[in-house]
Chain A
C-alpha cells in the first residue's frame, strides 16, 4: 500500500470494464483491467484462437507536426524515420546520451508532415518532456491526452473489424489509415503487441465506449485484460519496458538490432547522429564486446521461472538474470526472457535458474516462443 500514492487515473472505458466484471488493478498510474471473469488463461487462448479487445488507453499518444518533424525525430532514435513512407508504421527506441533505452515506441507516418507516436504509459510524461526539450524548436510536439487507444488482436480480428469498417482487411502488417469504425473516427494500424494479426485503433475518448461496445458485439470478440496481454507478449518474444529493457540496457544487449535500419548503421547514408551513437554502433559492429545479451529461455521442468531469478551455468557460476517469466498458456510450458553473458546466448545452451534455492534446468531458445501470425 503506497500511502502517498496519487489517485489512480481512469481510461474512457472504466465504467465498461466494471460493467464487464473486470478485476481492476493499478498500472502505470491508471486503474486498469487485469482480467475479466473468464480468467487470464481463457482470455489468452481466446486471443490466440479468435479475437481479443484490449483497452490500452493508458499509453501515451502524441503527434509531431511540421516539415522538419521526421528529421528532428530521427535525431532521437537509431531508426530510419525520414525514410518511412506515408501510411506505414515502425518500431522505435528513444535513447539516452549513453545509448541506453529511455523508451520503446511505435510511430506512424500520417502524411501532411504529421508523425503519430505511441509510447508506454509509465514513460509518457518523461518521453514528452524529453522530446520537447530536444526537438520542439524544429517541430510542434503535441500530446494527445484526449485520445483513447484500443487493440483488437487475434486471427479473427480482421473478420470482426472488417464487418464494421470495410476496407481494413486491405491493410498489411505495420500499415494504417483513417477509417470510420461503427461511426467512430479511428486511426487504424494493423499492428499490436501479442504476436497475432490485429489492429490498434486511436480515437477520441468520447467515442471509445461506443467503439468498444460495437467490437464486443461481434461474435469473435471478447474483452481481454492486461494479465493476458503480458503472457501473450512474452510468448511473442516482445520486450516489456521496465522489465526486459530500461535505461540500463542498450539496443544490442536487448537483441533489438533488428530495429536499427542499415541507413543509420556504420557505413549507412545517415549513419549515427542519434544519442549514444558511438557506443550503440560499436556494439553492433563488434557483438563480442557486449557485456550481456537478452535471450529466450524455456524451462525443461514444469516450474515457472519469474523475473529477478538468478541464472547460473551448470557449474554454478552466476551468468545472468531473468527479466520476465511465466507459464506460457499457449505452450503449456514455462517460458522466460532474461540477460546472460554472451558465451551462454546461443540457442540450445543449457543453463539453470535458481528457484527457491533449487536449480531448475532451462535451455536458451530462439524467440518468439509462439510463431508470429502477422499479415505481411
Chain B
C-alpha cells in the first residue's frame, strides 16, 4: 500500500506520483461528526507541507485541512463539494478532498504508515 498518514489526520495515496490523492482520516471525520461543508483549494495553487489547503465543517466545528506534503493542487473533488457527507460515509474513497503533485518525495517517506497512525490516533 502507498497510503501514508499525517499527524494532522490527513491521508495521502501517492500511487500516482503526479496526482497523489489527499483526504481526511476515519478518525478525523469521526471526531468532527456530520460534515456539512467543505472549502477546497484552487487547482494550480502550491502549498508547503503543513499549510492550510482546505476547510471541513460540521455543525459543531470547522477544522483546517493541512497539506500532508508540499505540492501543487492538480484536482479537487467536486462531488465532495456537492455532497460533503461523503467525507463521513467514505472518507478513504469517494470522500477524497484533492489531488496534488508532490514536490518533495522525501516528505512522503517521513509520514506515518497505517499501523503507526492507528497507534497515534488512539492518543490524539
Interface residues, chain A, CB within 8 Å of chain B?
34-35, 39-41, 44, 227, 230-231, 302-304, 306, 326-327, 329, 356
Contacts and interface: CB of A to CB of B under 8 A. Distances in A.
A40 B37 contact: no
Given A304-B62, A306-B62, A327 B37 contact: yes
B37 A303 contact: yes
A231 B37 contact: no
B27 to A, nearest CB: 13
Q: Is the interface of B mostly helix, strand, loop or mixed?
A: strand
A40 B34 contact: yes
A44 B62 contact: no
A327 B34 CA distance: 11
A25 B61 CA distance: 14
B58 A40 contact: yes
B1 interface: no
Q: Which of B33, B37, B57, B59 has the most CB of A within 10 A?
A: B59
Nearest to A34: B60
Q: Is the interface of A mostly helix, strand, loop or mixed?
A: mixed
B39 interface: yes
Given A39-B33, A39-B34, A41-B34, A303 B39 contact: yes
Contact of B37 (A41, A44, A302): A302
Nearest to B60: A227
B37 A227 contact: no
A145 B70 CA distance: 54
A56 to B, nearest CB: 18
Q: Which of A34, A39, A44, A304 has the most CB of B within 10 A?
A: A304
Contact of B59 (A44, A302, A303, A356): A44
A304 B33 contact: no
A357 to B, nearest CB: 11
